Amino acid sequence: MKNFFLLFALFFALTGYSQIHIGAKAGANLTRLDGQAFDDNFEFGYQIGGFVYFNLTDFVGVQGEVLFNQTNTKISDDYRDVFDNAFKKDKTLNYVSVPVLLRLNSEGLITVVAGPQFSFLANNDESFRQNGKKLFKKTDFSFVAGAEINIRPLTIYARYVWGFSDVSDFGDKANSEQIQAGLALRLF
Q: 185 near 162, Cβ under 8 Å?
A: no
* Band (9; pLDDT cuts 50, 70, 90): low
Query: pLDDT tens-digit profile of 129-184?
Result: 444 445 566 777 889 999 999 998 999 999 999 887 655 555 566 667 889 999 99
> Cis omega (within 30 of 0) on the bond before 153?
yes
Kindly report, residue by residue over 78-104, the tens digit of the pLDDT.
Answer: 554 445 444 555 667 788 999 999 999
| Direct distance between the N- and C-terminal alpha carbons of the chain, in angstroms, rounded to an integer | 26
DSSP the chain: -HHHHHHHHHHHHHTTT-EEEEEEEEEEEEEEE-STTB-SS-EEEEEEEEEEEEESSSSEEEEEEEEEEEEEEEB-HHHHHHTTTSS-SEEEEEEEEEEEEEEESTTSSEEEEEEEEEEEES-TTS-HHHH-GGGB-SEEEEEEEEEEEEETTEEEEEEEEEE-S--BSSSS---EEEEEEEEEEE--
| pLDDT over threshold 90, residue 26 | yes
Confidence of residue 117 (pLDDT cuts 50, 70, 90): very high
pLDDT bucket at 76, cuts 50 / 70 / 90? low
In this prediction, residues 114-119 reach a mean pLDDT of 93
* Contacts (Cβ under 8 Å, ≥6 apart) of 62: 53, 54, 56, 100, 101, 102, 103
pLDDT of residue 81: 47
| pLDDT reported for residue 126 | 52
Query: Is the overall model pTM greater than 0.95, yes or no?
Result: no
